[in-house]
Amino acid sequence: MAEDLNSMYHVRGQVKWFDPTKGFGFVVSDEGGPDILLHINVLRNFGQSSVADGSRVEVVTHRTERGVQAVEVISIAPPERDETPVLTDFADLDPELLAQAPLEPARVKWFDKGKGFGFANIYGRPEDVFLHIEVLRQSGLADLQPGEALAVRVIEGKRGRMAAEVQAWEYELTQKKQ
């Protein structure tokens, strides 16, 4: 990366860590170099309030006197998945059938990262949908905030309606454009 403080660069890399409570984290570039600061406001401009450690990202960066920082998130891909179902509720499901289920618009009712779960409301439906932390991680998210807009794939699990996949609403909108 050049030393020009006014130049912008597209960088692909991996999220080293991100802490939504602190409001920042770091990305490691595929090409090496210093860690890249990822501030929560830059992530929010992309439509997410968190990102899972290990997620693949493409960001626009610039160098400041204090180091390299992301100024825009272009894309986020979840960390590599283990093929083993994350929850027993998914063990008997055909992954191809699950992938064909529609992503439905939802809003986070509440989520407690410490407890590892929360609930969302699907627009136009009265019942809650269970959100598990492991499903978030496999979807590239680390935490959710009340009122946050999501796109979720819902299944009828052993404990009722639950999210099998969770995406930021903006992710779903960008996928429809492609």
pLDDT tens digits in sequence order for the chain, 178 residues long: 445 556 788 999 999 999 888 999 999 999 999 999 999 999 989 888 889 888 899 999 999 888 999 999 999 888 876 554 455 566 666 667 777 778 899 999 999 988 989 999 999 888 899 999 888 888 888 888 898 888 998 888 777 888 988 887 765 555 554 4
What pLDDT shows up at residue 174?
A: 52
What pLDDT shows up at residue 122?
A: 93
- Domain 8-77 matching CATH 1.10.287.1770: the answer reads no
What pLDDT shows up at residue 2?
A: 44
Domain ranges of the chain: 8-77, 88-177
Q: Does this chain's domain 8-77 share its CATH topology with 88-177?
A: yes
**Contacts by residues 54-58 (CB-CB < 8 Å, ≥ 24 positions apart):** 54/14, 54/15, 54/79, 54/80, 55/14, 55/15, 55/79, 55/140, 56/12, 56/13, 56/14, 57/12, 57/13, 57/14, 57/15, 57/27, 58/10, 58/11, 58/12
What pLDDT shows up at residue 65?
A: 87
What pLDDT shows up at residue 173?
A: 53
The CATH homologous superfamily for domain 88-177 is Nucleic acid-binding proteins (2.40.50.140)
What pLDDT shows up at residue 1?
A: 42
pTM assigned to the model? 0.66
